[in-house]
């Protein structure tokens, strides 16, 4: 089953992205948080427009109601961040199978987002209203949203015979995010 395979074959990459994000570290402060939101803001602003939304919808999955860029824009506004366009690594999203594999990473990250959101509230006082909207994500709906995604992905996998392509796209997406978030360069959007 595709979900099991994705989880197993990207387990190490999840550990790597967790280490790159490093948000649960006791030393993680508001300056680190601003840098992290800047990083994800630039990533999602390049990534989401590349998604083949119509083809995904034809394959039974509606991502349009899950677009995360507005959450990042709202956080960036509250935090006073300024956007700078930058070249960053993006996964290949040129087929529905690749998009599904990549979205496994994006939708799966909302699960960890719930843990992170609670942590940020406790340690930095961040809420959806004052700069923590992205990590709050779907909030209470996170479980059902993840389940619905998993069902769409599983249905697609059973008919498309493209599991290797799906897994490869998930691995490529983890690699892009880890490399982008972990990069120390100052090329990320800066604060004003």
User: How far, in whole angstroms, is CA 146 from its chain's centroid?
Assistant: 13
Candidate list 55, 69, 111, 175; residue touching ligand HEM; CB under 6 A: 111
**Segment 149 to 178, residues that bind ligand HEM, using CB under 6 A:** 177
Candidate list 88, 96, 105, 172; residue touching ligand HEM; CB under 6 A: 105
Residue 86 makes contact with ligand HEM by CB under 6 A: no
Sign of CA dihedral 30, 33, 37, 38: positive
Residue 123 makes contact with ligand HEM by CB under 6 A: no
Candidate list 1, 67, 115, 141; residue touching ligand HEM; CB under 6 A: 115
Question: What span, in angstroms and rounded, lies between the C-alpha atoms of 44 and 137?
Answer: 14
Smallest distance from the beta carbon of 134 to ligand HEM, in angstroms? 11
Local structure of residue 188 (DSSP, 8 states): S
H helices within the chain, ranges in order? 2-9, 11-21, 30-47, 53-58, 69-79, 96-124, 133-136, 142-160, 163-182
> Which residues of the shown chain bind ligand HEM in the complex (CB under 6 A)?
3, 6-7, 14, 17-18, 21, 23-24, 104-105, 108-109, 111-112, 115-116, 177
């Amino acid at each position: 089953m595709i979900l099991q395979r994705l989880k197993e074959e990207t387990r190490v990459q999840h550990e790597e992205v967790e280490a790159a994000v490093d948000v649960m570290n006791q030393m993680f402060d508001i300056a680190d948080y601003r840098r992290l939101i800047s990083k994800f803001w630039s990533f999602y602003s390049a990534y989401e427009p590349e998604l083949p939304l119509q083809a995904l919808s034809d394959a039974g999955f509606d991502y349009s109601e899950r677009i995360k860029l507005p959450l990042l824009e709202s956080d960036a506004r509250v935090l006073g961040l300024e956007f700078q366009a930058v070249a960053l690594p993006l996964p290949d999203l040129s087929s529905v199978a690749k998009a599904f594999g990549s979205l496994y990473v994006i939708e799966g990250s909302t699960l960890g987002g719930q843990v992170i959101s609670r942590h940020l509230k406790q340690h930095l006082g961040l809420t959806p209203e004052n700069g923590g909207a992205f990590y709050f994500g779907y909030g209470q709906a996170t479980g059902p949203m993840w389940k619905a995604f998993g069902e769409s992905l599983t249905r697609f996998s059973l008919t498309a015979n493209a599991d290797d392509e799906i897994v490869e796209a998930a691995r490529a997406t983890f690699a892009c995010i880890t490399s982008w978030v972990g990069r120390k360069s100052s090329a990320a959007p800066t604060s004003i």
